[in-house]
Amino acid sequence: MRQLHLIRHAKSSWEHPDLSDHQRPLNGRGRHAASLVGRSMHREIEVSGHETPLFFVSTARRARETFDGLKIGWPIVSEQVPSYDDALYTFDETDLIDWIAAANYGLDSIALIGHNPAMTELSNFLCPALALSNLPTAGWLWLRFYDDSWGASVRAPGRGRCVSMYTPKSGKLL
């Protein structure tokens, strides 16, 4: 069984319009939301006995800071050194599908921290029953697959089963 965690970066700051998109940091609300996601993931994954995922993070500053915030809410993750990957700084779901399909890490549980619209579109491709109009900032979606490889899991639509979804704004698991 494979588990994929999709996390959209938390709310970014527009305080400095001269910064490039890649360099935008989180705002205060985003930093707080990232720790709430970490706490929720800890409660749902670790406490329930599931495997802690290995994190792969977009190189954008707001994605890296989202991972830093997750560590506040989920202390065991602070021991993990995430993989930062330029390929995850994408807004295209096809790029994410290709990246996941090529994952040869021997891992059954991975987490991606990335960007919209790619995260919402990927969520809907993998689990069309969700019919998300938008995976909100700091939204977390946990998907499970019963395929033999990551490629088989993500190349065909509808292969994922939604285990849970959390948004800090609602404070709920859906």
3-state secondary structure of 50: coil
pLDDT computed for residue 75 by the predictor: 85
Q: Which residue ranges make up each domain of the chain? A: 2-173
E strand or H helix at 163:
strand 161-167
Give me the phi and psi of 115, to 5 degrees please.
-130, 155
Q: Is the dihedral of CA 113, 120, 2, 36 positive or negative?
A: positive
pLDDT computed for residue 23 by the predictor: 97
69 neighbors 35 (Cβ within 8 angstroms): yes
pLDDT computed for residue 174 by the predictor: 58
Rounded to an integer, what distance in angstroms lies between the CA atom of residue 116 and that of residue 121? 8
pLDDT computed for residue 72 by the predictor: 93
pLDDT tens for 97-118 read 999 999 877 889 999 999 999 9
3-state secondary structure of 47: coil
The rounded Cα 22 to chain-centroid distance in angstroms is 17
pLDDT computed for residue 165 by the predictor: 93
Which homologous superfamily is 2-173 in? Answer: Phosphoglycerate mutase-like (3.40.50.1240)
Given a cut of 70, the residues of the chain with pLDDT beneath it are 172-174
Rounded to an integer, what distance in angstroms lies between the CA atom of residue 60 and that of residue 64? 6
pTM higher than 0.75: yes
pLDDT computed for residue 136 by the predictor: 95
Beta bridge partners of 164: 142
pLDDT tens for 124-149 read 999 999 999 999 999 999 999 999 89
